[in-house]
């Protein structure tokens, strides 16, 4: 079949404008498909980092929005295999102007020493660490967040409460660097408690649990949930990775949304491609007759036309993958609701999947025109004047 490759490529390039437009339309669609597949891959196929693999997140079984008693921490700490526990309370609130999405970032009230212990991958100078631990109104921000918001050590940050009816005046005392969750602001839970007085009633949103090994994680999760199975407030414990995906479900059935858009994009481009290929084949029916006269079989003619369509679609797919790679850069730097988006890129399996989809689009869209052309009788084909 390789001996026909030059012929196939020359035929593909026969009508340059049409071929270019077809490649462009396929590449734009494949670019969108590539980014969607990259997001899907990042969410559902990326393994937990080594530090994530050691962490579990405990929340109220009913919902993440419903708090649970803070004293659960003491019992969780006693479960074999648990190395440390850190409480974490989503603060929400407003920074500067709610209408500007750039001002949205995660803000958590935490126990400084504990969160630094549980999130051991966070790196910062020792003096900054100590300042964050010992100063009640201190806050610690991720390096990426600091760069984005232009935060510097000593800056004052005012957060207007919405879930909690208090305004907090924080001072940046530490800037940490970490491979993930690098756009988070942590501040002292004690400050929130004092600002709220007795209104918080010892309730907390989540516990971050550090296990002694990844193998202990499933057992610890079961042990925690079993401990509170008969309590009025039951818990749901999952790995940090699962928890992040669960957080994503607040947006709806993300998996279904992504797959539906992917299917719609693929189907649409298939129709466009089919129309173009059909046009191209119709113009060359006479040539099909000539090829048959020379001794080409139906099967060879079918293969030639399919090969041509697959070549065009695959080139479009390759361009689309390159475009998608560039677009991922924009998405990475834009406002993100998930840390996975921060590391969005076209991974080799996604690139291969895109190329395979492109090839299949070419194959399917050309099949009917190619089949009909290969079945046309020589006399009928030679009579064609198109």
Partner 1 sequence: MTDNVVIQTSSLTKEFLRDEFHVVALKGVDIEIHKGEFVALMGPSGSGKSTLLHLIAAMDVATGGNIRVLGQDLRALNDRQIARWRNENIGFVFQSFNLIPVLTALENVELPLKLTNLKKQERLDHANTALKLVGLGDRTGHFPRQLSGGQEQRVAIARAIVTDPALILADEPTGNLDAGSAQDILSLLSQLNKEHGKTIVMVTHDPHAARFASKVRYLEKGELLAEGAVPAD
Torsion-angle region of 246 (φ positive above 0: left; ψ -120 to 50: alpha; else: beta): alpha
Residue pair 192/166 in contact (Cβ under 8 Å)? The answer is yes
Task: Count, in order, helices (H) and strands (E) of the chain.
Answer: 15, 12
Residue of the chain from 103, 158, 213, 297 that contacts partner 1 (CB under 8 A): 297
Q: Which stretch binds partner 1 (CB under 8 A): 22-30, 234-242, 285-293, 315-323?
A: 285-293
343 to 382: interface string for partner 1, x by CB under 8 A = ----------------------------------xxx--x
Given a contact cutoff of 8 angstroms between Cβ atoms, the answer to whether 321 and 356 are in contact is: no
Stretch that binds partner 1, among 139-147, 205-213, 294-302, 323-331 (CB under 8 A): 294-302
Interface region with partner 1, contact rule CB under 8 A, candidates 154-162, 173-181, 247-255, 288-296:
288-296
Q: Which is nearer to partner 1, 109 or 366 (CB)?
A: 366
Contact region with partner 1 (CB under 8 A), list: 151-159, 212-220, 237-245, 295-303 = 295-303
Please state the closest distance from residue 364 (CB atom) to partner 1, in A. 25
Of 63 and 297, CB closest to partner 1: 297
Measure CA 118 to chain center: 25
Cβ-based nearer residue to partner 1, 4 or 95 = 4
**Local structure of 91: helix, strand or coil:** coil
Environment class of 136 (CB within 10 Å of its CB; exposed 0-12, middle 13-18, buried 19+): exposed
Picking from 102, 48, 33, 32, the residue whose alpha carbon sits closest to that of residue 343 is 48
Question: In this chain, which of 287, 322, 341, 384 binds partner 1, going by CB under 8 A?
Answer: 287
- 293 vs 333, beta carbon nearer partner 1: 293
Report DSSP state, residue 47: P
Nearest to 323 by CA among 13, 12, 26: 26
State the minimum distance, in angstroms, from the CB of residue 355 to partner 1: 25
Total binding residues for partner 1 by CB under 8 A?
25
Planar angle of CA 13, 16, 18, nearest 5 degrees: 110
Q: Write out the binding residues for partner 1, residues 101-160 only, by CB under 8 A.
A: none
Question: Does 83 participate in binding partner 1 (rule CB under 8 A)?
Answer: no
In terms of CB distance, is 12 or 88 closer to partner 1? 12
- The sheet with strand 82-90 has its strands ordered as 94-95, 156-160, 167-176, 138-142, 184-188, 106-110, 82-90, 206-211, 55-60, 235-239
Contact pick of 83, 255, 286, 343 for partner 1 (by CB under 8 A): 286
Among 99, 201, 294, 386, binds partner 1 (CB under 8 A): 294
Q: Identify whether the C-beta of residue 353 lies closer than 8 Å to the C-beta of residue 37.
A: yes
Please say which residue, 7 or 44, places its beta carbon nearer to partner 1: 7
384 binds partner 1 (CB under 8 A): no
State the Cα–Cα distance between residues 330 and 337, nearest whole angstrom.
14
Query: In sequence order, which ranges of 283-297 are alpha helices (DSSP H)?
Result: 285-294
- Residues 1-40 interacting with partner 1 (rule: CB under 8 A): 3-4, 6-7, 10-11, 13-14
Selected binder of partner 1 within 148, 200, 255, 298 (CB under 8 A):
298
- Binding status of residue 75 toward partner 1 by CB under 8 A: no
Note whether 39 and 258 are within 8 A (CB).
yes
Residue of 90, 104, 296, 371 that binds partner 1 (CB under 8 A): 296
Residues engaged in binding partner 1 (CB under 8 A):
3-4, 6-7, 10-11, 13-14, 286-287, 290-300, 377-379, 382
């Amino acid at each position: 079949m390789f001996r026909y490759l030059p012929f196939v490529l020359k035929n593909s390039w026969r009508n340059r404008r049409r071929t270019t437009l077809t490649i462009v339309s396929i590449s734009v669609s494949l670019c969108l498909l590539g980014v969607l597949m990259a997001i899907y891959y990042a969410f559902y196929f990326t393994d937990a980092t080594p530090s994530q693999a050691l962490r579990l997140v405990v929340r109220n079984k009913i919902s993440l929005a419903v708090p649970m008693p803070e004293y659960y921490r003491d019992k969780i700490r006693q479960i074999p295999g648990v190395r440390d526990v850190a409480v974490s309370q989503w603060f929400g609130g407003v920074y500067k102007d709610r209408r500007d999405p750039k001002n949205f970032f995660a803000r958590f009230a935490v126990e400084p020493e504990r969160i630094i212990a549980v999130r051991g991958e966070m790196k910062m100078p020792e003096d900054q660490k100590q300042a964050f631990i010992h100063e009640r109104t201190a806050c610690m921000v991720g390096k990426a967040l600091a760069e984005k918001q232009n935060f510097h050590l000593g800056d004052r940050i005012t957060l207007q409460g919405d879930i909690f009816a208090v305004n907090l005046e924080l001072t940046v005392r530490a800037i940490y660097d970490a491979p993930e969750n690098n756009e988070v602001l942590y501040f002292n839970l004690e400050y929130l408690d004092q600002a709220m007085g007795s209104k918080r009633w010892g309730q907390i949103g989540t516990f971050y649990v550090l296990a002694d090994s990844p193998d202990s994680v499933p057992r610890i999760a079961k042990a925690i949930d079993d401990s509170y199975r008969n309590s009025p407030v039951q818990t749901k414990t999952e790995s940090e990775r699962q928890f992040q995906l669960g957080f994503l479900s607040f947006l709806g059935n993300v998996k279904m949304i992504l797959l539906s858009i992917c299917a719609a994009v693929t189907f649409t481009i298939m129709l466009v491609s089919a129309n173009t290929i059909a046009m191209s084949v119709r113009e060359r029916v006479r040539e099909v007759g000539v090829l048959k006269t020379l001794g080409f079989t139906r099967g060879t003619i079918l293969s030639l036309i399919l090969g041509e369509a697959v070549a065009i679609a695959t080139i479009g797919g390759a361009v689309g993958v390159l475009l998608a790679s560039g677009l991922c850069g924009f998405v990475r730097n834009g406002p993100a609701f998930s840390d996975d988006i921060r590391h969005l890129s076209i991974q080799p399996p996604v690139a291969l999947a895109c190329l395979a989809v492109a090839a299949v689009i070419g194959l399917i869209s050309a099949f009917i025109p190619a089949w009909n052309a290969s079945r046309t009788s020589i006399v009928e084909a030679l009579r064609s004047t198109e």
